[in-house]
Structure 1
Amino acid sequence: MRVGARLGRAFWGFRGKLALSIAATFIVLGACLVAVQVAILSQSIASTIDVSIGGPVDVEAPVVLPDPASLKDTVECVTTVETSDCLVEVSDETSSYGRLVAADVMDRYMMWTLVLLVVFAVVSAALSWRLTRSPARKISDVAQLAEQISERDLSQRIALAGPRDEITRLADQVDTMLARLEGAFASQEQFVANASHELRTPITSVRAALEAPLTQGRVPPDLQPYVHRALRSVRRMDDLIAALLLIARSRHLDADQRSRVDLAMCVRDELEAIQVLAQARGLRVECSGIEDSVFVEVSAGVIAIAVGNILRNAVQHNRDDGWISVDLRVLGDRVVLAVGNSGPVYSADEVTGLTEAFNRGGQTRLAGTPGTGLGLTIVESIAAAHDAVLVVEPGYVDGLVVRLTLQACSS
């Protein structure tokens, strides 16, 4: 079954179409050549018989074969043809016999020509399929590698071997482009990580310098609101830098950092962590599918951050006395975590940009909802590192529905 499927894809793919085009070209040219030869041969035979019997002859006209024995005694209806050498006398029966012989020759010629044309077509198709194997294989190698390359892994190279042709040059250019992209992404991520790390030290110092006198009561009452406002800004900057560091680190999660994790337990732990925030806003939390264990192959600490961000996003971008729905289920070899809320109504166009950095949506930004605007960006980065899929879409009534789809453990 798999072999048949591969052959089907190859036949209807680039190689099959190229081979079919080459074979069709040869077949059409061969048919044209045969048609010209048939026309020339038919005209030559007709001219020869015309000269022989003294009149134009239709080699395709139906004739009746006379009895050869009767030709010996034929004496009537004699046609005289004068040539440069002598006079030739030919009977009507003899001329009919000549026309029949010519027609029979043409029929046999046409039959064998068609047989040879079919053989030529089969050989042309086979040779075309054979000749297109090498370029088709090269293009297939380039296409397979292009499918495997992503922003997370730019280290692969095509390194196409073989003679220097257009396809090999294309592969070399793709390798060069990948090397440049890998260097650019590495430089960008390194800059974010270094800048975030360097900024944490002065921010920590500023935070301590503000908290110490405030705790000791050495700040005048009229200045305390300004100090509290400065502390809130410093905390937000600290959270922002921590989020940027997390995004930079989540882009490079090796396979050996993953382990078998109970996602249901992780969801229960994160729900407990946001319980105080949810109760403070009067939110009703409805859960399903988190009672039984559901195992996935992920990095335990990182996936907990992703689940926590999704749940906190559902709490922060919600209305008071609203609701949050949490649903965890197994669909075949996939595990789907869906979290919905009763927050602001978003259009489909607005939802597509919510995973972009610092994009909190127009309504939440105007409402002054706290947050860095990196929550779903971090989740998307973690999902990509685990070959998972994050989907954000408008709710059925209001709010958002965030779905995180992960690969379930095989055992």
Structure 2
Amino acid sequence: MRLSVRTRLALTFGALFLLAGAVLLVVNYTLVSTTLPNGATAGVGGRTLSESGPTGDQPADRAEDNSSQGSEDAPAFNVVNGAIDDYRTSALRTMLVISGIALALVGAMAGLLGWLMADRALRPVKRITATARRLEAAQMDKRINHEGPDDELKELADTFDGMLDRLAGSFDSQRRFVANASHELRTPLAVQRTMIEVAMADPTASPELMRLGSHLLHTNERSERLIEGLLLLARSDRGLDSREPVRLDLVAASVVDGARHLAGESGVRVTSELAPRTVPGDPVLLERLVTNLVHNAIHYNAPGGSVTIEVGEYPALVVVNTGPKVPSDQVNHLFEPFRRLNRDRTAHRSGAGLGLSIVRSVAHAHGGSVSATPNPGGGLRVTVKLPVPAGTVAQDTTGPQVVLATREGD
């Protein structure tokens, strides 16, 4: 059984208190036992038992009188001595029992106080743990800001805050570099594409030149998609500067209409169940989120498969597709840049490997989250949760629901 630090501190505090109390009890018992009289040392009528017998200093007649008197008083002395011994034994026993009960009660109270003290002492550590759990690369604005005495815990909290400041600066610098580099690369790529198209438009161009130009255009197009994805990823990672109400169901309907041709080429059937849903955010980023999910669901599918898009109150968006089986331990890796199932590579005929990374970044920028679970028969179920506008009660759409708009495409 794994005990928490708080429990261990409380148990340690209580055990140490009980040990100190037991030592004190033993000392008190020894002192009281040596102080209380017993029958052998108790005086009766101003004399001890030794004084009731004959002594060498007394006259013979006095000794004889004392001897006869002692013989006559011996039964009374024995009764008194027995009573004194009984009293001593009873007093020591009573003191031991009462002290033991008091020690147990005070020990339990000490354990409770130790529990409360440990909770108060470890409260900054709990705040540090909670802050660390909320941190992500896209949300580095959380700090502990511990207020209290200048002790070890405050030093730990300040050190943690300083580390977060350095990490936030590093992430911001990385995002700016990616955005600036991607922006600077767009111009030469556009120039290259124009030069290739001009060369291919020449009537005297040879077949070898046309094949080379076609290959270069394909490479150039893929590079442009990669740079566009990096720019969008950097933009969503920086967060939203402004928000406006966006009808997510209308955005999804537009994306589904635009994906009909792609679905037809792949032999995939697309259906949608769209209920009205308003999301405060950026319409361009939300459109890219839906587009990436729908296109991924079509690309990573099987001929004759299906894709279902659902928009509701909670969750906001669900995209389910058929296709190859996905191991459950590989699902989370799909949201990392340039990661695909069971392989890391950037070359792909239809994308740059940033689709789901952009989806996760856009969802986080809107204060939401995205998760995926493999379907038993193959494919994925991707769920996007977005904040519900103020004044609206979120309802789980896993139960019966009213579908306000249904579209189907082949």
TM over 0.5: yes
Residue 392 (1) aligns with residue 372 (2): yes
Deviations 1:11-36 (CA, angstroms, capped at 9, x unpaired): x9765763453244213321332144
When residues 80 and 299 of structure 1 are mapped into structure 2, their CA distance, relative to the original with a 3 A threshold, is farther
Q: CA deviation at 1:121?
A: 4.1
Select which of 87, 90, 112 maps to 1:101.
Answer: 87
Residue 321 (1) aligns with residue 307 (2): no
Contact 1:26–1:124 at 8 Å: present in 2 too? yes
Structure 2 residue aligned with 1:21: 12
Q: CA deviation at 1:102?
A: 1.6
Q: CA deviation at 1:42?
A: 3.5
Structure 1 residue aligned with 2:320: 340
CA distance in 2, matches of 1:276, 1:246: 25
CA distance in 2, matches of 1:26, 1:49: 33
Structure 2 residue aligned with 1:271: 256
CA distance in 1, matches of 2:346, 2:165: 43
Structure 1 residue aligned with 2:21: 30
Select which of 25, 28, 41 maps to 2:32.
Answer: 41
Q: CA deviation at 1:307?
A: 0.7
CA distance in 1, matches of 2:212, 2:325: 35
Contact 1:336–1:405 at 8 Å: present in 2 too? yes
Seq. identity, % = 29
Residues 5-404 of structure 1 aligned to structure 2 (within 5 Å): 18-19=9-10, 21-42=12-33, 45=36, 48-49=37-38, 51-52=40-41, 90=74, 91-110=77-96, 113-114=99-100, 116-117=102-103, 120-121=106-107, 124=110, 128=114, 132=118, 135-215=121-201, 217-254=203-240, 257-288=242-273, 290=274, 292-330=275-313, 334-361=314-341, 369-404=349-384
Contact 2:339–2:353 at 8 Å: present in 1 too? yes
Contact 2:236–2:362 at 8 Å: present in 1 too? yes
Q: CA deviation at 1:230?
A: 0.5
Contact 2:369–2:384 at 8 Å: present in 1 too? yes
CA distance in 1, matches of 2:250, 2:334: 27
Deviations 1:161-209 (CA, angstroms, capped at 9, x unpaired): 4443221221222122112211211121111111101111100100111
Between 111-120 and 389-398, report the one with greater CA deviation. 111-120
Q: CA deviation at 1:277?
A: 1.0
CA distance in 1, matches of 2:175, 2:209: 40
CA distance in 1, matches of 2:389, 2:360: 21
Secondary structure of the 1:49 match is: coil
Q: CA deviation at 1:335?
A: 1.4
Q: CA deviation at 1:83?
A: 9.2
Secondary structure of the 1:51 match is: coil
Q: CA deviation at 1:249?
A: 0.7
When residues 366 and 168 of structure 1 are mapped into structure 2, their CA distance, relative to the original with a 3 A threshold, is closer
Q: Which amino acid in structure 2 is aligned with residue 406 of structure 1?
A: L
Q: Which amino acid in structure 2 is aligned with residue 49 of structure 1?
A: N
Secondary structure of the 2:170 match is: helix
When residues 361 and 219 of structure 1 are mapped into structure 2, their CA distance, relative to the original with a 3 A threshold, is farther
Q: CA deviation at 1:327?
A: 3.0
The unaligned stretches of length 5 or more in structure 2 are 59-65, 393-410
When residues 115 and 187 of structure 1 are mapped into structure 2, their CA distance, relative to the original with a 3 A threshold, is same
When residues 346 and 82 of structure 1 are mapped into structure 2, their CA distance, relative to the original with a 3 A threshold, is farther
CA distance in 2, matches of 1:267, 1:173: 46
User: How many pairs align?
Assistant: 371
Q: CA deviation at 1:234?
A: 0.3
Contact 2:368–2:384 at 8 Å: present in 1 too? yes
Q: CA deviation at 1:159?
A: 3.9
Greater relative contact order (CA < 8 Å, ≥ 6 in sequence): 2
Deviations 1:303-347 (CA, angstroms, capped at 9, x unpaired): 1111110001111222333322223344xxx31522222333333
CA distance in 1, matches of 2:109, 2:176: 59
CA distance in 2, matches of 1:253, 1:374: 18
Between 118-127 and 316-325, report the one with greater CA deviation. 118-127
Contact 1:317–1:364 at 8 Å: present in 2 too? no
Deviations 1:135-168 (CA, angstroms, capped at 9, x unpaired): 3343344334334433223244434344432212
Q: What value does the CA root-mean-square deviation take over the aligned residues? A: 3.6
Q: Which amino acid in structure 1 is aligned with residue 131 of structure 2?
A: L
Structure 1 residue aligned with 2:399: none
